[in-house]
Amino acid sequence: MKRDFIFVVALIFLQAYNTVPEAWQPAPVYAASYAAGSPARTPAPATSLFIVQQDHIITPTPILTNEPTPTAEPIQLGIERVVIVSFDGMRPDAIEAAGMTNLLNLIESSAYTFTARTISYSATLPGHTSMLSGLCMEKHGMRWNGNNLYRGYAVGTNIFDLTHDAGMKSIMDVGKEKLRLIAEPETTDDFEVHATEAQIAAAAVELIPSDFDLLFIHFPSADLMGHKHGWMTNAQFGALREGDAALGKILAALDENGMRETTLVIVTADHGGHDKTHDGTLIEDYHIPWIVSGPGVIPQQLTSSIRIMDTAATTAYALGLPIPPEWDGIPVYEAFGVAAQDVHYRNEDCE
Ligand SMILES: [Zn+2]
């Protein structure tokens, strides 16, 4: 609050002297194109106002408006599509313990953290909904973890709404039927459910040559083995290695089709776990890995605080889509070596 107050006072002072920097002012031009259903790409501010230091990024709280926030021009990054891979229940420390060689190789060319955080209700459906909607649970309304279609789909604007409205092609290729509840069927071009990691990868490999803008992959088995045999057990490690092999096939398919160089790949999870549960009683349930590689990414260990909602926001940023002002996620600018931008607002109270 004190920081907000100081910022508002500073802004009033600057306005009084007519010296408000352009980048701090709302972007009214953008609202019209968004309302007309044709999200336009708005150039980023020409200069950054913020000081990036090695251990933290200073971001003033912006003035909230009802207009979509402009997104930095993404074309310079060379990203043509995004693949999000979620390993259900994958703890960050399981990656090395299980010997996930493909993922470990990917991490070497990635920006990554092993201390990203899922939402307070660390469960599959609410967590994945936050991952793909950019919203905390109280906003997307997916407060249950069962496949109950009668309760309806998640509410709010998710990443598939954005891609659909922009005429982009999106695919969900998942291992749990209930993930259908994240996005209404008309907002995704394809939705496939398969039982095993190998089958999910095979479906993706078949889809990749016809290209897409957004591909969401979900590998279910680490969670299933965790509930059955325990987290960080050999049974779960085996499931993670199956997922790792499947990830390798998907990356190879991107390579073979000449798409890897223009694809942003995000690997993450919906929650961790301990014993045979992920009920939120231990920090191990909350920490998730967040790994991104592709055009514009600077390989590094990320130091900024990353939350599960940031996956949707980073995807929107990468695809040049407008980030809805109500989203709680913000793009992981640090991964691209870009200073945090004032146009995005993070709701720290959001659960
Ligand atoms: Zn899960």
Q: How many angstroms is it from 21 CA to the middle of ligand 1? A: 44
Return the H-helix or E-strand segment holding 81: strand 81-87
Q: How many angstroms is it from 139 CA to the middle of ligand 1? A: 20
Outline where 257-342 has alpha helix (H): 310-319
Establish how many alpha carbons lie within 13 A of residue 108's alpha carbon, considering only the half-sphere containing its beta carbon: 6
**Domain range list for the chain:** 84-336
Q: Which residue from 148, 134, 225, 212 is spatially nearest to 179, judged by alpha carbons?
A: 148
Q: How many angstroms is it from 240 CA to the middle of ligand 1? A: 13
Q: How many angstroms is it from 112 CA to the middle of ligand 1? A: 20
In this prediction, residue 339 carries a pLDDT of: 81
Q: How many angstroms is it from 160 CA to the middle of ligand 1? A: 20
Looking at residue 291, the DSSP 8-state letter turns out to be: E
Q: How many angstroms is it from 269 CA to the middle of ligand 1? A: 8
Query: Tell me: domain 84-336, CATH 3.40.720.10, correct?
Result: yes
Q: How many angstroms is it from 301 CA to the middle of ligand 1? A: 25
Q: pLDDT 10s per residue in the chain (351 long)?
A: 445 545 444 444 444 444 434 333 333 333 333 333 333 333 333 333 333 333 444 444 444 445 555 555 544 689 999 999 999 999 999 999 999 999 999 999 999 999 999 999 999 999 999 999 999 999 999 999 999 888 899 999 999 999 999 999 999 999 999 999 999 999 999 999 999 999 999 999 999 999 999 999 999 999 999 999 999 999 999 999 999 999 999 999 999 999 999 999 999 999 999 999 999 999 999 999 999 999 999 999 999 999 999 999 999 999 999 999 899 999 999 999 988 765 566 666 677
